[in-house]
Amino acid sequence: MGKLKERIILKGIGASPGKVRGKVKIINFPEEIDEINKTGIIVASFLTPDFLTIIKRSPWVSGIITNKGGLTCHAAIVARELKIPYIAGTAVATKKLKENMIIIIDGEKGIAYA
């Protein structure tokens, strides 16, 4: 990832470790995950088991950010199993991040950079 050029744009709970760079895809319905055709960072209000089932079979999901959730939520457990960086509990991710933004997420520290 880059040097000090990146600026912190979002903070939350580091729920699954790892660093990844990708394009933001804001989703409201599980089926929208299938629209990702390159490395993508899913941004959602929260993730239900329906979302997670699709994430498990999608080769394109490289990171996850949600407004709600925490270290022990179902999404965090699944993200750790799949080794997908996950930032939970940001409260504002769906409002602050824009579709197709290129960002870097640090799932251990719970920080997103642009």
Q: Is 26 helix (H, G, I), strand (E, B) or coil?
A: strand
| Residue 26 designated active-site | no
Q: Is 25 helix (H, G, I), strand (E, B) or coil?
A: strand
Query: Comparing C-alpha atoms, which of 53, 18, 23 is closest to residue 38?
Result: 23
Q: What CATH code is carried by the domain that includes residue 29?
A: 3.50.30.10
Q: Which of 21, 74, 80, 109 is catalytic?
A: 74
In a domain, 38, yes or no: yes
Between residues 5 and 20, the one the model is more confident about = 20
For position 38, what pLDDT does the model report?
66
In a domain, 64, yes or no: yes
First to last CA, the chain: 11
For position 50, what pLDDT does the model report?
86
Kindly state the percentage of the chain with pLDDT values over 90: 71
CB burial readout 22-57, b (16+ within 10 A) else e: bbbbbbeebeebeebeeebbbbbeebeeebbebbee
Residue 98 is part of which domain span?
A: 8-113
94 — pLDDT class (breaks 50, 70, 90)? very high
In a domain, 95, yes or no: yes
